[in-house]
Amino acid sequence: PTPTPAWRPLVHFTPRQHWINDPNGLVQVGEVYHLFYQHNPQGRDHANMSWGHATSRDLLGWQEHDVALPGREAHAIFSGSAVVDTHNTSGLGQSGDASPPVVALYTGAGHYWQAQYLAYSRDAGETWQFGPEQPVLDEGRADFRDPKVFWHGPSGRWVKAVVYPDERQVALYGSPDLHVWTPLSVFGPAGETGGIWEVPDLFPLTDETGQEHWVLKVDVFAGGPQGGTGAQYFVGDFDGAVFTPRGPARWADYGKDFYAAITWSGTPGRCLWTAWQSSWDYATRLPTHPWRGALTLARELGLRRDPDGGLWLTQLPLQELDRLRGRRTPLHLTPDSPATLPLPAGRALDLDLRLAPGTVLTLRLTSVAGDELTLRADRAGGTLTLERPARGLLADVAGFGGVHTAPLPPAIERDLDLRLVLDTSSVELFAGGGLLALSDLLFPAAAPDTLRLSVDGGGATGEAWTLRPAVPSPG
């Protein structure tokens, strides 16, 4: 295949070459963010599964390292998580070590058999070794995966969420030392159960009044908001053993390309997650070379309460993205004055708009090659619609082309905010203070060079920023 440098994202993570799927082991150690990911070190298909490794100081510019956990003879290395074991509960740290051990829990995936294993680093996440030969949690199951671990202060132990995919269940376990795990409870089936469940996460978030709640996120392999894979979440309580939902299942993202998100461990004062920016519907057929697959931006998470007491997840692009902003163009749109913006080559775009009541905004991105992407935000109708055409190489990729519609959230203030981050091969959209998120891949035949904005009724103001390509910061 011919290399496709024009589709190499500028502000999203991709491996230099070969396949990537789920983000794994997301952990901040000191000043450094360690990203691991499902990776085939040998090719662009889902095989030889290993943990790739990259580090960053701003979650935007990444430096790729040697594979941290290479696939083994007996089993592939599937998804999992990592934590800093500050008090050396695992005993894996040794006296004289300059830093506490960083411990990863991952799924060993063999033939009709999956179990949870441990690996660790004694040098703050730089180099890794496999733990004991024996799994730390094995129930003799064919499908049992994606351990997500966190420290639960009130009960003074580690808690781990793992899925029973076929049963559409998330099983919770507790441990004093990350080695010995005892069952706590099982959640599900609940919400969307048409497809198997994968990649659970359970984490606390505070609402705007400062009250703490727990979010359980679990992905579905089918039945997502645009068909195919998707991410659903429940908000509720967790007493250290049992998660109890206090509301219906909701979609974390309304695009096609948001899957396997997990939260970052060890990020004081903020909660962030990163997802694989693809869909199992067509992930193995994406036309990029020499890499295949990308991750979403890290998103800052929050919770908001609606007037009826319902709790909703909010997601916004990480604050660090602002540092990449370059040229700013102010925008004042009325029905009589649309705007046309040239898009400079080699830059991503960050658009921030506030839509007055009754506004129907149409945003059109075009290229010399005839590409056209249309986004419509209809405050009157309450919908956000992205038309993603499938042309050229994507034309025969089932599930790629389509019209993705999402419910526009009610405005928190009079105007509704809409944020769009456009990269070379994706768009991430956020509306209503992040109550709505939508991530979609795009593969235009030529880079879009013109952005047209117009409104019917109402009006919109805001600004467009060019975004410099992310580069690893030194030190």
Tokens of 439: 């991530």
Our finding on whether 21 is near ligand FRU (CB under 6 A) is yes
Annotated catalytic residue within 22, 219, 378, 417: 22
Residues 240-259 that bind ligand FRU (CB under 6 A): 259
Q: 105-134 mask for ligand FRU (x: CB under 6 A)?
A: --x---------------------------
In whole angstroms, the minimum distance from the beta carbon of 5 to ligand FRU comes to 26
Please state, in angstroms and rounded to a whole number, the distance separating the CA atoms of residues 338 and 333. Answer: 6
CA distance 421 to 437: 11
Which residue from 177, 67, 73 is spatially nearest to 127, judged by alpha carbons? Answer: 67
Tokens of 440: 């979609």
CB-nearer residue toward ligand FRU: 38 or 288 = 38
Token pair for 192: 């969307």
Q: How many other CB atoms are found less than 10 A from the CB of residue 140?
A: 8
Which has the closest alpha carbon to 202: 131, 262, 260? 262
The answer to whether residue 278 forms part of the interface with ligand FRU (CB under 6 A) is no
Question: Least distance from C-beta 260 to ligand FRU, angstroms?
Answer: 5
Q: Which of 37, 78, 203, 282 binds ligand FRU (CB under 6 A)?
A: 78
Residue 146 contacts ligand FRU per CB under 6 A? yes
| Interacting residue with ligand FRU among 20, 202, 260, 261 (CB under 6 A) | 260
199 versus 343: smaller Cβ distance to ligand FRU? 199
Using CB under 6 A, pick the residue from 12, 19, 20, 22 that binds ligand FRU.
22
Among residues 284, 305, 159, 172, which one has the least CA distance to residue 229? 284
Question: Is residue 198 near ligand FRU by the rule CB under 6 A?
Answer: yes
Distances (CA, A) of 133 to 74, 128, 130, 138: 10, 15, 8, 12
C-alpha 171/C-alpha 241 separation (Å) is: 10
How far is residue 457's CA from residue 387's CA, in Å, rounded to a whole number? 21
Evaluate whether 324 touches 50 at the Cβ level (below 8 Å).
no
Is residue 177 part of the annotated active site? The answer reads no
- What does DSSP assign to residue 7? G
State in angstroms the smallest separation of the CB of 22 from ligand FRU: 5
Which of 136, 409, 440, 405 lies closest to 279 in space, CA to CA?
440
The residue from 199, 235, 272, 406 that contacts ligand FRU (CB under 6 A) is 199
In whole angstroms, the minimum distance from the beta carbon of 19 to ligand FRU comes to 9
Single-letter amino acid, residue 174: G
Lookup: tokens for 76: 């592939």
Q: Is 201 in the site for ligand FRU (CB under 6 A)?
A: no
324-357: b (≥16 Cβ within 10 Å) or e: beeeeeebebeeeeebebebeeebbbbbbbbbbe
Please, which of residues 32-61 interact with ligand FRU by CB under 6 A? Answer: 38, 49
Q: Minimum Å distance from CB 139 to ligand FRU?
A: 16
Q: Which is nearer to ligand FRU, 178 or 199 (CB)?
A: 199
CB of 439 to ligand FRU, least distance (A): 15
Nearer to ligand FRU, 76 or 92 (CB): 76
Query: Cβ 164 to ligand FRU, closest distance in Å?
Result: 12
| Pick 294 or 355: Cβ nearer ligand FRU | 294
Asked if residue 145 binds ligand FRU (CB under 6 A), the reply is yes
- Residue 162 or 355: the one with the smaller Cβ distance to ligand FRU is 162
Rounded Cα–Cα distance for residues 103 and 83 (Å)? 5
Q: How far is the CB of 180 from ligand FRU (least distance, A)?
A: 23
On the CB side of 372, CA atoms within 13 Å amount to 6
Per-residue binding letters, 408-447, with ligand FRU (x by CB under 6 A): ----------------------------------------
By C-beta, is 199 or 205 nearer to ligand FRU?
A: 199
417 contacts 409 by C-beta, under 8 angstroms: no
Cα separation, 384 vs 403, whole angstroms: 10
Q: Which is nearer to ligand FRU, 261 or 365 (CB)?
A: 261
**Residues marked as catalytic:** 22
**Where along the sequence are the contacts to ligand FRU (CB under 6 A)?**
21-22, 38, 49, 78-79, 107, 145-146, 198-199, 259-260
